[in-house]
Structures are given as C-alpha cells and as structure tokens.
C-alpha cells in the first residue's frame, strides 16, 4: 500500500466512523447529546482488533491489513458494497491495474467499429476517464468533443470545466456528484499513481466545486440511470445511460446513451445529425 492510499484509507475510515449512529450499535450517547460517531476503541472492539492497530490504520501507518480484517471493519462501519470494494482496493485487495493503461487517444479499430455501428450516442473511456473514442451520434449530441485537445478530453475534466457541457445538463449538481463518487470507487487501486494524482490535483486547482465534492469521500458503484440533456438546437433529450465492458479490452468502458422510449429523443437526434433542420 503506497502512502497516498494509506492516507486515503485512514481518512475514509474516520469519515465513516464519524457518521455512524451510536444507538444502531447499541451504544449510549456520549455526554448528553452526542449521538453520532463511534470511538476508535469501540470500532476496534466490534471488529476484534487491537485499539493500537486500528488507530495506526486510521493514521495511515505502514501496516498490513488482511482482507478478513478489512471486511470485519467494513461490517462494523456499515459500509455499502461500493464502499467496501473501495476499502479493499485501498488496502491492496482489489484488482491490480494493468501496467499499460489504454491511451486517451487510442481505441482499437474493432471497438471503434462497434461504436460506429450504433445509432445513439456512445463513447469509450479509459481507466483515468479519458474519452478515448466516440461515434457520430455522440459528436452530434456534444459537438465540442471534437474541438477539445486530447490532454483535456477527460470526462471529469469536461464536466467541471466546460461551460458548454454544463449548460446542457439541467441536473448538473446531481450528475457531477455521481461522476465523482463513481470515479473514486474505480480509482482505489490506482490511488497514488502519477497520472491519478496529477488529474485530481489539476481538477482541484481548476474547480472549487470538484475540490469540495472530492473532499466528501463519497463512493458509488456505477448504475444505469436516466440522463437528460438540453441541446441548443432541439431542446430536451432523454436517455438511459448504460455501460458495457469489452471482454478483450477490459480497461475500456463503453458509455451508451439509449434514447428513452416514449420520448422524441430519437427523432431529435436525427434532426441534429441533419443539421437542425
């Protein structure tokens, strides 16, 4: 476990410990009114580990934490499946990242052909959420993607820094938070790498909103959900957001916006492709 992952693990455990209701663990309030938050010694007792060891874990000391112990701590802290997976990844028990991540500019030809074969917006993201490829329907939806330099063609970067995209998202506040939580959930095993550290630092410097959301340490697994865009030519477009992982290139994820049935989205996409006529 590198230093940044140890530090993140400690901070994450402290935040979750502070958010627990004492009564749900059969514990009385502290003093007259403090009903939130477990003490370190209480978590240690419930998890059957020593107080000293658990304190070192939260302090980011260089100690080894087995999967069994982290699972036990996760149960005490009532972690969600996404949060538990994140803790395990930080502790070195998640999937090991591939030594050579797919470059932002690169999508294998056979996968680009798959993107081009669908008639709804679709794009591919690499492990750092760089947008590695897209189809013509996605470019029709978000034409600015073709103008962005490869260095800035990152989904998180665009969500927080591109006013064009922000104006298209009526639920930007919710969408941006979901993206940050999902990115964090996927980045546990890469935390501390030069590319991940540089991206987060760049985003924190560029966006006060990102810095604030990142500091909340929220973790969510990806889930299919409704997405709404307001296009300047045709107005509201409604999609179901889906994600697929190619079996032969698992570092790439396909994000697909499937037009919602019963809405005029498909026809409006065709109108955009025809030049807004």
Separation of alpha carbons 243 and 253, rounded Å: 7
Which residues 6+ apart lie within 8 Å of 165 measured at CB? Answer: 142, 144, 158, 159
> What is the set of domains in the chain, with CATH numbers?
3-90 (1.10.260.40), 109-273 (3.30.450.180)
CB–CB of 185/230 below 8 Å? no
pLDDT digits over 232-265, tens only? 999 999 999 999 999 888 889 999 999 999 999 9
pLDDT digits over 146-174, tens only? 999 988 999 999 999 999 999 999 999 99
Instruction: Return the pLDDT at 100.
Output: 44
Instruction: Return the pLDDT at 15.
Output: 93
pLDDT digits over 56-112, tens only? 999 999 998 999 999 999 999 999 988 998 999 899 887 655 444 444 457 999 999
Which residues 6+ apart lie within 8 Å of 174 measured at CB? Answer: none
């Amino acid at each position: 476990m590198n230093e940044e992952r140890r530090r993140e693990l400690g901070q994450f455990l402290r935040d979750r410990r502070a958010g627990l209701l004492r009564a749900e663990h059969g514990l009385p309030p502290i003093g007259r009114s403090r009903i939130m938050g477990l003490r370190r010694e209480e978590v240690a007792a419930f998890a059957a580990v020593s107080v000293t060891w658990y304190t070192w874990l939260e302090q980011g000391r260089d100690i080894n934490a087995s999967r069994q112990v982290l699972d036990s701590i996760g149960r005490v802290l009532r972690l969600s499946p996404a949060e538990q997976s994140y803790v395990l990844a930080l502790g070195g028990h998640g999937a090991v990242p591939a030594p050579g991540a797919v470059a932002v500019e690169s999508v294998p030809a056979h996968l680009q052909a798959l993107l081009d074969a669908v008639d709804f917006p679709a794009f591919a993201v690499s492990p750092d959420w760089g947008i590695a490829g897209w189809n013509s329907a996605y470019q029709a939806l978000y034409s600015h993607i073709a103008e962005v330099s490869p260095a800035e063609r990152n989904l998180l970067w665009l969500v927080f820094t591109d006013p064009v995209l922000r104006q298209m998202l009526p639920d930007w506040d919710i969408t941006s938070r979901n993206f940050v939580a999902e990115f964090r959930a996927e980045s546990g095993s890469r935390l501390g790498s030069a590319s991940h550290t540089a991206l987060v630092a760049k985003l924190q410097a560029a966006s006060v909103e990102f810095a604030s959301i990142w500091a909340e340490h929220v973790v969510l697994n990806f889930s299919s959900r409704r997405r709404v865009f307001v296009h300047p030519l045709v107005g509201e477009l409604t999609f179901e957001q889906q994600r697929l992982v190619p079996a032969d290139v698992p570092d790439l994820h396909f994000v697909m916006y499937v037009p919602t049935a019963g809405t005029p989205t498909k026809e409006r996409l065709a109108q955009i492709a025809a030049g807004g006529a």
